[in-house]
Amino acid sequence: MHLELNAEEGALIDAARAFAAEHIAPHAAEWELARHVPRDVFQAAAEAGLTGVLVPRHHGGKEARHVVAVRVLEELSSACLAITFGLWVHNNALNAIERHGSGAPAERLAASMLSGQRIGAFCLTEPDAGSDAAAITTHALKVDGGWRISGEKAWVSNGTHADVLVVYAQTDASAGWRGIGAFLVDATGDGVTRTPPYEMLGGHALGLSGLRFEDCPVPDESMLLGPPEGFKAAMDGIDKARMFAAAMCCGILGASLSTALSHAATRQAFGKPVLSFQGLQWQLADVATDLEAARLLTFGAADAFDRGETAAVAAAHAKKFASRVALDGISQCMQAMGAAGSLMEHPPARHLAAAKLAHYMDGTTEIQNLVISRGLLKPFGLDAG
């Protein structure tokens, strides 16, 4: 697929490729084994212009087209999806503050996030509310001059180390989703505690943890989006997030295919490279076809967003397909490498864990089917359930 890029766009993609090669690829396996969350990567990313990819130019960002952001994410995640997802959550939090925040405190926060000094996170999911995000019970109580937030959030990317939290909280339970607003919370302030990081099958560089809020004071000016705009913005944002997650799946699948091809071209069995066996060639040819299809769906969704279309269904198709073929295809790539494919010293084992995590992030595979089904059923006046 050919993408017309201007010089600045080409330079941004090149910067992402160089950044992945220098700051991510050499360390990603070590981060995983040591369960290390590399906070310093955010500052290095800022220097490379990778903290404000979607942020408007007049606020110091790159204001990149979605099709360009997708290419940036493919490059970064080909080295490690976990840290790429963390960086992207940070980008999105900064973008939300730039677009919806107001006043000097928001400006100060945004400047320190653009420089990578402060790190952002989104807190929507709760221990008892995941797919059904409108059912959150974390609440914001109106008090003189501000709000008091109480409740618990779960599965927060960058949760172990974020400084700036975008917290979704219910202001009026009787209003359902219409009562949900978005608040900017200082993670190091009063009333906020972090729960220990999750022990997962992989992806520890993402720093996933929960957060508890107990009577956490938030001034009026820190309401980022009042109800019902807070929840609407979260849902709009999640559509784009799904397309970006699809791009990251393309990155790890492409990287795994390259690793498998290089390995199989040199590994000998029965007196010849294993890549010369047709059975193995066809196995990898199928992976290549799936990768092409996943990339086309992802770029199709990105192009639709760039043209101002509501591309919720396109993004759901892309995320569902790309995460599915990443999980299957990376497994095939590891198979083509023999037992060596299972070693952590080769990236596909790490990428396989990330592909599984991608089935949950920004809405599960089943929720993508719900979005797609809604589109299919709409002409019949029926709702998907």
Ligand X SMILES: Cc1cc2nc3c(=O)[nH]c(=O)nc-3n(C[C@H](O)[C@H](O)[C@H](O)COP(=O)(O)OP(=O)(O)OC[C@H]3O[C@@H](n4cnc5c(N)ncnc54)[C@H](O)[C@@H]3O)c2cc1C
Could you please report the per-residue DSSP string of 153-218?
Answer: EEEETTTTT-SEEEEEEES-GGGGGGGEEEEEEETTSTTEEEPPPP--SS-GGG--EEEEEEEEEE
> What minimum distance in Å lies between the beta carbon of 208 and ligand X?
6
Q: Rule CB under 6 A: is residue 366 a binding residue for ligand X? A: yes
> What minimum distance in Å lies between the beta carbon of 382 and ligand X?
15
Q: Which among 46-54, 256-264, 339-347, 357-365 is the span making contact with ligand X, rule CB under 6 A?
A: 357-365
Task: Cite the DSSP H helix spans in the chain.
Answer: 7-19, 28-34, 40-47, 66-77, 81-100, 103-114, 229-266, 278-306, 312-336, 347-357, 365-377
Q: Which among 32-40, 150-158, 291-299, 326-334 is the span making contact with ligand X, rule CB under 6 A?
A: 150-158
Per DSSP, 22 falls in state: I
Q: Which among 61-69, 107-115, 169-177, 353-361 is the span making contact with ligand X, rule CB under 6 A?
A: 353-361
Question: How many Å separate Cα 104 from the centre of its chain?
Answer: 28
The smaller minimum CB distance to ligand X, of residues 72 and 361, is found at 361
Q: What are the φ/ψ torsions at residue 201 (nearest 5 degrees)?
A: -70, -15
> What minimum distance in Å lies between the beta carbon of 355 and ligand X?
11
> What minimum distance in Å lies between the beta carbon of 232 and ligand X?
16
Token couple for 166: 């975008």
Angle between helices 278-306 and 66-77 (to 10 degrees): 140
- Binding-site residue total for ligand X (CB under 6 A)? 21
The smaller minimum CB distance to ligand X, of residues 112 and 365, is found at 365
Q: Rule CB under 6 A: is residue 370 a binding residue for ligand X? A: yes
Identify residue 124 by its one-letter amino acid code: L
| Residues contacting residue 172 through CB under 8 Å, at least 6 positions apart | 178, 179, 227
> What minimum distance in Å lies between the beta carbon of 197 and ligand X?
12
Q: Residue written as tokens 């950044």?
A: 19
User: Cis omega before residue 217 (within 30°)?
Assistant: no
In the range 91-130, which residues lie near ligand X by CB under 6 A?
A: 122-125, 130
> What minimum distance in Å lies between the beta carbon of 81 and ligand X?
9
Q: Which among 90-98, 253-261, 358-366, 371-379 is the span making contact with ligand X, rule CB under 6 A?
A: 358-366
Q: What does the binding site for ligand X look like in residue numbers (CB under 6 A)?
A: 89, 122-125, 130-131, 155-157, 203, 206, 208, 357, 360-361, 363-364, 366-367, 370
